[in-house]
Structure 1
Amino acid sequence: MINMKLMQATSIAEKIVKDEKLEFPIDLALLAQRNNILLQPKPITTKGVSGMLLRCGEEFTIIFATDIKNEGFQRFSIAHEFGHYFLPSHPENVFRNGNIHESHAGFCSNNQIELEADHFAAGLLMPKHLFSREWGKFSDGLSAIKGLAKICNTSLIASAIRYTQLADVPVAIIVSKGTLVEYSFASRQMQQIKGYAHLKKGLTLPKTSLTYNFNKDLNNIEQSLQKSSETDLLNWFQAEHEITAKEEAIGLGSYDKTLTIITANLNKYFDDDEIDESWDDPGFK
C-alpha cells in the first residue's frame, strides 16, 4: 500500500529546493544559513545514530556523525535532520521528551517519523525536477547510479534508491550482508513484471547469484570492488519467465555491505501479457 505521508514528505522537500532556487549539488550549508540552523560535525558514540537535531529556545542545531567517512552519507544525515525541522508535526513529535532528538537515517528504520525524514532527505538532495535531467546521460544500472551519486554528491545507496523511484527502467537494487537481504527497492517497471515477488529483509540471497559468491570474500566489500554477470528474474524475483537481466555487485567499504543492481532486458517480453497493472508499492523493507 502506498504511504501518502512519505510521498508528501518528498514533495515538501522538492518544493523547498524550487523555492530556494537550489541546484546540484544541493548546498545544505546555504539552506541552514537561510534558516538560522547551525551545522556541527561531531563523532557520535551511540551505535547507529546518524545525526541529532537540538533545540534551544527558538534556535536549532544539526549534529551529524563523522565516524563513517562518506560525504554522501553525512549529507543524507544532515538532510534527514532538515526533515525533522521542516515537516509538519515533526518538531512536536521528536522533541516530545526533551530538546535532543537522535536519528537513524538511511531507510533502516520502520518508524514512520524516521521514514518520512528519509524521504524528505531523498527529495531534498535528489529532487525529481533536477534528477530527471541527469539520469538519461548514463547507461542503465550501476553506471547511472555512480554518475548520479557524483552529480548529487550523495551516497551510492541513496542514489540507487532514488534511481529506482524515478528512472523509467526495469531495475531493482538489493543491499545485502553475508548471505542475507537487508532491504531492496524496485522500479515501477520491475514491479509490474508478471510474478514479481519483492525481496524482503532476512531472505537468503539466491545461491547461484553473483552476489552470493561475491559476499563470501570480504576483500570485495572492504575494497569496494565491483563485478557483473548475466542473471534472470526467475532466479531473483520468482518472475513467471526466465527474463534475462544484468547483475552488478559493488562492495560498500566501511558499511560492510554490498549493493546489487538487477537491470532487466525486457526487449523480448515487452507486451501487455507480461505486465501486471494491479501492483501496489511494497513499501520500504
Structure 2
Amino acid sequence: MHLSKRPKKAANDFSVLLRTVLGEDRFPVDVTSLAMEVSKNFEDPISRIEGIEIDGFEGMLRANRKKPAWRILFNTTTRYPGRERFTLAHEFGHYVMHRRPLTAADYANGAGPTGLDFECSPLQSNRWKESDREREEEADTFASFLLMPIDDYRQQVSGREITRSLLNHVTNRYGVSLLAAVRKWIDFTEQRAAMVVARDGFALWGRASERALRSGIFITSGMEIPTLSIAARGPDAQRGNAETPISLEANVWGFQRGNDPVRELTIFSHRLGLSISLLLFDAPATPEPEEVYEADTYDVLAG
C-alpha cells in the first residue's frame, strides 16, 4: 500500500477508504482502528496506541526499541476527547508522511535506532526550526482533513447561518474540539470571516479566511481585544443571546484597512480561561489587493 506524503491527499485517500467500507455513517473517525489496520501493511507497523499523562507534550510517535514498530502516545491530562482525537490523528500523520521506515536491519546489533521519535508540543512552537514547523503544520493539516473531510463539512453547513448550535453539531459529528471545527470553517468559507482566541484581554492566536485576509483583516498574537467587543465585555454583553452572532458598530473591531461593521459570536470557556470569537464581516470589502497575508502565529488546536 502506497502512502502519500502530501497531507491533504493522504487524508483524502483514507476518507475514500472509510466511506467505501463504512458508508456515510463513519463519523467520528476511529483513528485508532484505522492506524492499526493500515500500518499492518508495512514492516514497521503501529503496534501500540496509548493515552497517558505526558508532561509538556501533546503526543508522541515513538520507535520501538526492540523490533521494527512504532507506538503512538497521546496526552490525556486535557480531559477533552476531541483534543485527544486530533492529537492521535496528528501523530498518525507523522507515521504516514514523516517517519523513516524501520526494518529488521535496524535492530541487528540488538539495540533499536535512536533519534527517530516525534515529540509534539505546541508550547515549543516558537523554538522550532522552519523544517520542524512545516512538518508539524503538515501533520495538523492531515488530522484536520482526516477527521473533517471538506466535502462532508460543506454539506453540514451549506446554506446555514453559523450559530452555536450548528458548531455543536459539527463538533459532535466529527468528535473534535470547537477550535478545530471553527478553524476548519475559516479555512474553506468564502465569507469574510475571522476567528480570535483570547485570554486576559489579548489574542493568543487567530485566523482569517482568504477573503478576509485580502481585505486587510489580519489577526496577530498579542493583539489587544477591543473593549467594546463581546469577547472583552463577557457573557453578559450577549444579552441572553449566546446562540447567534451579535451585530456591532463599525468602529468596534478595527483592522489594517478599515473598520467594517461586524457580527460577533463569542463562546467563553471558563475551564480553559479562553474566549473564542467568530467575526463575520457582512459589508462588501474594499477592492482586494493582490498580495495575501499569512498569519504569523502557530495555530494551537486546544480542546
User: TM class by shorter-chain length?
Assistant: 0.7 to 0.9
Q: What are the ranges of 5 or more consecutive residues in structure 2 without an aligned counterpart?
A: 41-45, 102-111, 298-303
Once the two structures are TM-superposed, the CA of residue 143 in structure 1 deviates from its matched residue by 4.0
| Structure 1 residue matching 2:182: 3-state secondary structure | helix
* Matched letter for residue 180 of structure 1: F
Q: Number of paired residues?
A: 261
Taking the aligned partners of 1:142 and 1:277, their CA distance within structure 2 comes to 33
Taking the aligned partners of 2:123 and 2:141, their CA distance within structure 1 comes to 9
Map residues 269-284 of structure 1 onto 2, 5 A cutoff: 269=284, 274-283=286-295
Indicate the percent of aligned positions where both proteins have the same amino acid: 20
Map residues 190-209 of structure 1 onto 2, 5 A cutoff: 190-193=212-215, 196-209=216-229
Taking the aligned partners of 2:149 and 2:61, their CA distance within structure 1 comes to 23
Taking the aligned partners of 2:265 and 2:113, their CA distance within structure 1 comes to 44
Once the two structures are TM-superposed, the CA of residue 129 in structure 1 deviates from its matched residue by 2.2
Equivalent in the alignment of 2:204: 182
User: CA 1:242–1:236 in structure 2 vs 1: closer, same or farther (change >3 Å)?
Assistant: closer
- Kept after mapping to 2: 8 A contact 1:172/1:261: yes
Equivalent in the alignment of 1:76: 86
| Structure 1 residue matching 2:158: 3-state secondary structure | helix
* Matched letter for residue 192 of structure 1: R
TM (norm. structure 2) is 0.75
Equivalent in the alignment of 2:33: 30
Taking the aligned partners of 2:81 and 2:123, their CA distance within structure 1 comes to 14
Map residues 158-169 of structure 1 onto 2, 5 A cutoff: 158-169=180-191
**Does residue 243 of structure 1 match 2:250?**
no
Structure 1 stretch displaced more, 155-164 or 59-68: 59-68
Structure 1 stretch displaced more, 53-62 or 231-240: 231-240
Taking the aligned partners of 1:96 and 1:238, their CA distance within structure 2 comes to 51
Equivalent in the alignment of 1:64: 74
Once the two structures are TM-superposed, the CA of residue 97 in structure 1 deviates from its matched residue by 5.3
* Matched letter for residue 78 of structure 1: L
1:14-64: CA deviation from partner (whole Å, max 9, x where unpaired): 2222234363222212212212432211111x22x1111111132121111
Q: 2:16 aligns with which of 18, 32, 55?
A: 18
Q: 2:234 aligns with which of 210, 214, 226?
A: 214
User: CA 1:78–1:230 in structure 2 vs 1: closer, same or farther (change >3 Å)?
Assistant: same
User: CA 1:60–1:262 in structure 2 vs 1: closer, same or farther (change >3 Å)?
Assistant: same
CA RMSD of aligned residues (A): 3.2
Taking the aligned partners of 1:33 and 1:40, their CA distance within structure 2 comes to 12
Equivalent in the alignment of 1:262: 279
Taking the aligned partners of 2:228 and 2:80, their CA distance within structure 1 comes to 32
Structure 1 stretch displaced more, 172-181 or 133-142: 133-142
Once the two structures are TM-superposed, the CA of residue 242 in structure 1 deviates from its matched residue by 4.3
* Matched letter for residue 201 of structure 1: S
Equivalent in the alignment of 1:229: 246
Taking the aligned partners of 2:266 and 2:222, their CA distance within structure 1 comes to 19
TM (norm. structure 1) is 0.79
Q: What are the ranges of 5 or more consecutive residues in structure 1 without an aligned counterpart?
A: 1-6
Taking the aligned partners of 2:144 and 2:134, their CA distance within structure 1 comes to 15
Taking the aligned partners of 2:200 and 2:75, their CA distance within structure 1 comes to 25
* Matched letter for residue 76 of structure 1: F
Once the two structures are TM-superposed, the CA of residue 284 in structure 1 deviates from its matched residue by 5.3
Map residues 52-201 of structure 1 onto 2, 5 A cutoff: 52-56=60-64, 57-87=67-97, 90-92=98-100, 98-104=115-121, 111-136=133-158, 138-193=160-215, 196-201=216-221
* Matched letter for residue 204 of structure 1: E
